[in-house]
Every structure is written in structure tokens, then in C-alpha cells.
Amino acid sequence: MADAKFLTPEEVSARYRGEVTVGTLRNWRAMRIGPAYVKIGKAVLYPVDELESWDRRNLVVCRASKGQDMS
């Protein structure tokens, strides 16, 4: 984890184009849901690899409609 990149809550919000606000991240931390984070003193940091893992866990996979050839 020494080479891990971390994002602040503001940077995480920007990563998700403002659809996940800093306030939402704060609420998720209080409820122990959402992406994993590290807290050092008052600083809250989100490891980028954890955000990518969280993204994969929340990925919605759609299937092709009936009669639709995907080749």
C-alpha cells in the first residue's frame, strides 16, 4: 500500500461527477457503507484501488434483449 494513491472526499465526489456528494460520503461513513477509506487523524482518504474494487462490485450488467443478436 506504500505506492497506493489516495483521494480526498472532494476528489472522490469529482471522480463520480458530483453524483456522490461529500455529504453522501460522510453519511455512508457514519453508516459503515460505501467505499472503504482510511482515517488518519481528521483526514479521510479513499484508496483508488478500493474505489475501483467498489465500482466493480456495483457494476450493473445488462443482458441482451430477446431476439437481439450480439455477434
What pLDDT is stored for residue 1 in this prediction?
53
Is the pLDDT confidence value at 37 over 70? yes
pLDDT, tens digit, 9 for 90 and up, residues 6-31: 999 999 999 999 999 999 999 999 99
Question: 70 or 8: which carries more pLDDT confidence?
Answer: 8
Question: 10 or 66: which carries more pLDDT confidence?
Answer: 10
Q: List CB contacts of 54: < 8 A, sequence separation 6 or more.
A: 34, 35, 36
Q: What value does the mean pLDDT take over residues 28-55?
A: 97
Report pTM.
Answer: 0.82
Where does residue 51 rank: exposed (0-12), middle (13-18), buried (19+ CB within 10 A)? buried
